Chain A
Amino acid sequence: MSHLLAFDIPGGWGTTLGIKTLIVMGLIPVGALVLGYTFLLKMMSHMQSRVGPMDPGGFHGWFQLIGDGIKFIQKEDIIPAGADKRVFKMAPAIVVMSTFLMFVVLPAGPNAVVAGALHKGQGGIDVGIFYALAVSSLSVIGVLMAGWASSNKYALIGALRAAAQLIAYELPLVLAVVGVVVQAGTMNLQGIVFAQQQGKIFGWSGIGSPFILTQFVGFALFMVAAQAELTQPPFDMPVAESELVAGYMVEYTGFRFLFFFIGEFGTAFVYAGLAATLFLGGWSIPHVNGEIANWIGPIVLFVKIMLVAFLMFWARFSYPRLREDQLQALAWKWLIPISLINILVTGALKVAF
């Protein structure tokens, strides 16, 4: 599969673009389903001393989420009477779109990267991580649109909370990544992976140099900020089931709600992918290069994504929720200063060594 992504397919750029689009469109819902099933249905259930769905599909209820998806598609698409119809309909699509756009820069092998692989050399676009974080904030617009257009007070409160929160946590997210960028010397995600694969720890290259060892502060910051960007507990005030019922999603039904669901878990998938790429070495295994890396790359990346996602969801299912002002205080008083110091130290060490 990675070859499809890597090389020009006979038929020109149009066919290539088409195939790539299909792959991305297919991978995000599948990733969302895998995360949703493994963590939301199964891991959460076991953490709560229950078993989750067991019957759908036969084996441990694997079909449950797909069945849910089918159910959502069948349901009536209700638009509230007072809603701004066009905006209301568009909002879920924008949220999902930002997820799709983020995914395209994620490399899954030396040649397998959706955006920019047509060029020889490293592949991937040069401002990869910059681009990914930039498009991730597009979802704020979708959330605001959803909240406003629903003409529901709960939705409005949820959307405004989401806007404040997502914007506040963009900053620590970006700043946490800067340390990695400084250390790798490139913003290209493919370059960051190579830097980790070929790096050395005090001259020993046994495990390469995954940045989680040198940038563990950055990793912690990234995980906290990503959790807030995903509006997951302990930062889930915008959706807050127990107070705002479901925040900006409260009026959505049917496949539009499904879009939000895919957006939520798809984005979790992508953020886990970004964290895996930035801090755990992405698709790479040290000393495995060449053709074989193209084949095992996606599998390695997937395993790492699941590891990171496990951490994310573990915290999600264990912690209560902060209040909105406490969340802002955490971002501005703690995360941003710490990330600035992290950048300073990284920069100083980079110059020194």
Chain B
Amino acid sequence: MPSFGDSVKGMSKGLGVTLKTMLKPAVTVHYPHEKEEVTPRARGVIALKEENCTVCMLCARSCPDWCIYIEGHKEKRPARREGGRERTVSVLDRFDIDYALCMYCGICVEVCPFDALHWSPEYEYSEFSIASLLHDKEKLGEWEATVPEAEPLELGAEVKKAKK
């Protein structure tokens, strides 16, 4: 057991900590009225840039809990140049992400070879019913507007050559 003097000291130190904290301003962010600044890397919601998607299905296959649903069909398009061959283009019919299942791991964004998927730090899309958490391609396209610019990297990082 600590001595009487130590006890009194220990007890009063505890009181001191709480009193000191009380006199300092609180750290609370008053959420609905003001918002915390989200880091640009935050994995809030996945945005889809539809014109970049080639229906390659890589994202759907690499998703660890298979929450991406993709359907597409092939269409013939006229040739780019005069006399060229007709092109076959894959057209996206359906691109759904079920956010009720999503683990927010970001593998789909990373694996996409054509930069069609991006992370947006938006987080305010809660719903009253679980079914409404299934975002279709129109809704995922709307998130594209909230995607931030990539941050510059820290000192000492290897700067990659810009893609394309």
Contact = CB atoms under 8 A, between A and B. Distances in A.
Question: Which among B15, B17, B18, B27 has the greatest number of chain A C-beta atoms within 10 A?
Answer: B18
Contacts of A200: none
A315 B26 CA distance: 20
B28 A47 contact: no
B19 interface: yes
Interface string B52-88: 0000000000000000000000000000000000000
Contacts of B28: 49-51
B30 A45 contact: no
Main secondary structure of the interface of A (DSSP, over half): helix
B30 to A, nearest CB: 6
B21 interface: yes
A319 B14 contact: yes
A170 B22 CA distance: 33
B164 interface: no
B21 A46 contact: yes
B21 A49 contact: yes
Interface residues of B, number: 13
Contacts, number: 33
B21 A315 contact: no
B18 A317 contact: yes
B24 interface: yes
A314 B22 CA distance: 10
Interface residues of A, number: 14
B26 A51 contact: yes
B30 A315 contact: no
A319 B22 contact: no
Contacts of A43: 22
B11 interface: yes
A46 B25 CA distance: 8
Interface in B29-52: 30
Contact of B26 (A49, A317, A318, A319): A49
B26 A50 contact: yes
Instruction: Give the 5 A-B residue pairs with the shortest CB-CB distance, closest first.
Output: A47-B18, A46-B22, A318-B18, A47-B22, A51-B28
Interface of A: 43, 45-51, 54, 314-315, 317-319
5 contacts: A49-B27, A50-B26, A50-B28, A314-B19, A319-B11
Given A49-B21, A51-B26, 5 more contacts: A43-B22, A46-B21, A54-B30, A314-B19, A319-B11
